[in-house]
Structure 1
Amino acid sequence: MKRHLTLQARLKLPMARRCITMVSNHHATLPLLDKSLRYFILTSTPHGKQIAIAMTLRGYEHAISPPRYQLENLDIMSIIDTCDVFVLETTTLVLSTLEHGCRSTVNYEQACQQDADISFLWYAASQAKTCILLSTGVVTAWVKDCEIVDAALAVHPPAKDEGDSSKGHMITAIVDVLTGEYGTRLAQLR
């Protein structure tokens, strides 16, 4: 029994890596090779802080992810102004809002009214920041051609929740792909 658990533990990181798909990578944005750039990861989950810590441990000097609930909209915009790369973790609901903004004439104000975090993606793009979308929901083909997203990763965690250990492996896998320590396939979406 113990040998089975050890084998399962060794397989968690490779399994987590297979759960990540690169949806778009305009201008070879990924991997993020410049460790001196300022990275701002915005998410409403603890993932952002965990990603920022993992990047810092790998030598990225300025990777931050302050708790979303502690930030006002102006605080977020101020941090975006000072960063070089903006990473937004989203869900399926957010992506549907963004899809409408990319495919139709929905303007900035309408997108902001539908979802506040999308407004930050639009804002970062308008400030010529590199924008990376990290989706924990369903990503469809439109993201590939969306002009405000420089790179997009779809993360599909294993269906069975295996606790904190499995989540830690997923964070490691995400950072591996972001930093180029592990390559992933570019999705062929239609």
Structure 2
Amino acid sequence: MSPRSRRRPRSCRRPRRRRTCSRRPSWRRRLSSARRLRRRRSPRFPPPRPSSSRRPRRRLRRPPPAPPPPPPRTVEPARARANLASYVSNDDYPASALRNEEEGTTGFRLTVGPNGRVSDCTVTSSSGSSALDAATCRIMRSRARFTPARDNRGNPTTDSVSARITWRIQE
């Protein structure tokens, strides 16, 4: 036997023409052996599909929590029983502000409770004098009275009222 015949399989020992053998090229042989290996390693049955035929969705981020509900809408706002400036007299002028001859306009916001009394006072625009600002809130908390705000059902509710008081030294 010639060395050439040893390399060929029996079916191809007597070649009539060149490359007429039924033998596959080497790259096809490698490919088919890789396929066979894949078949052996993978299970014979495909993996079970998910219950829905659609692709699984990406997990979406949760939206931020909803803001708290707005306070009940007031149908009738809180009203002062008298003009707020009438609660302040010349005798209420702070002594330190008189000594330093401080004047100015204090803007403030009052929170009125369901009982008609002032529950909180905040200065929104300062007069430039901390003594005048503090005196404004002190007087409004102690003296101011309101008719409370009413909600849709007619029940008294909290409300806020904004106002300004001008402090002037009387000569």
Q: Which band: TM-score by shorter chain?
A: under 0.3
Q: Which has the higher strand share?
A: 2
- TM-score, normalisation: structure 1: 0.18
Q: TM-score, normalised by structure 2?
A: 0.19
Structure with more helix by fraction = 1
Look at both structures and tell me which one has the larger radius of gyration over its CA atoms.
2
